[in-house]
Amino acid sequence: MNDQAQLAEHFDRSRGHLRGVAFRMLGSADEADDAVQETWLRACRADAGSVDNLTAWLTTITGRVCLDMLRSRSRRREDFADLTELDMLAPHDEAADPADEAVLADSVGLALLVVLDTLGPAERAAFVLHDLFAVPFDEIAVIVERSPAAAKKLASRARRRVHGTADMSSSDLARQRAVVDAFLAASRAGDLDALLAVLAPGVVRRADYAALRGQAKVPAEVQGARAVAEETRTNIRRARFAWPALVNGAVGAVIAPRGRLLLVLEIGIAGDRITSIEVIGDPARLKGIRLGLANVPSPAVATSSGPRQLSVQGA
């Protein structure tokens, strides 16, 4: 078997890994496929015969391709005329195509994609390659065209932004996360009793104009557990795109179809009940929100000195 045939065989075996790298760096399944195709074209033009570790070499090429794409593409946002269009993105049956972008985003963690989108290209590349795929910093340095020390600083800075800073103790963070998880699970299921169990009797739901765009009959403010629960039951399909996240230091949620931030839910919690829900859709307000992953710290993560392999499912 010649070098080109060996390269083609190894590339086919590595395609899933390379697509995973590209998707986390780009946040788009279509762009990830384009990046993998470009990786193949670049690999074919290079001399692979002297490469000892083809997977690492192909990963490096993919990283370079994705970084070029991140640097050159305009900041695209999916603009919905109104929230009813969000319903069209959700499949109407349970048998979704595993290659569908929404399913792929779910498997990575919508909140992670949203937070990654707040990073600069070099920060995102350094974080994804090191923390998610354990690529050494000397290899990342070549991709981002920095020194290994600078690449390490990029990843460290990105890591702090991705994980965010909770304005509370670990125990309070865990309690808030449990409340938000219960609310989102009940929302997806349309379970009225479960919603009433997690909403305080006097809960208030407020939404800005952008969040209500196209919903003229929906009031800006709804009061009372039953009224909020009944309204929430009408948003089952939208709830599919909701994921817990740190919102300005407390646990809230982001609604992000295909990883593109559309709405932020700032959630007030007292004890084990939700007392307020602020739905934010105004682009100017969204830019001013501090977002991070709502992961509850564990001793294993806190004491680890090596690359932190994030549990992105449910992040």
Q: How far apart are CA 44 and CA 61, in angstroms?
A: 11
CB 260 within 8 A of CB 75: no
Mean pLDDT over 296-310 rounds to: 43
Q: How far apart are CA 305 and CA 166, in angstroms?
A: 22
**What is the per-residue pLDDT across 6-27, written as a single tens digit (0 to 9) for each?**
889 999 999 999 999 999 999 8
Q: How far apart are CA 267 and CA 192, in angstroms?
A: 19
**What is the per-residue pLDDT across 84-118, written as a single tens digit (0 to 9) for each?**
444 444 443 444 444 455 555 555 677 888 888 88
Q: Whole-model pTM above 0.85?
A: no
CB 288 within 8 A of CB 266: no
CA dihedral over 147, 148, 149, 151, signed as positive or negative: positive
Give me the long-range contacts of 118-124 (CB less than 8 A, separation at least 24). Answer: 118/161, 118/291, 119/158, 119/161, 119/162, 121/67, 121/70, 121/71, 122/67, 122/146, 122/154, 123/154, 123/155, 123/157, 123/158, 123/161, 124/25, 124/70, 124/158
What does each C-alpha distance from 217 to 214, 221, 276 come to in angstroms? 9, 12, 21
CA dihedral over 263, 269, 273, 275, signed as positive or negative: negative
Predicted pLDDT at 253: 95
Tokens 């790298």 belong to 21
**What is the per-residue pLDDT across 279-300, written as a single tens digit (0 to 9) for each?**
999 999 998 999 999 887 654 4
Predicted pLDDT at 216: 65
Cβ contacts of 133 within 8 Å, gap of 6 or more: 21, 59
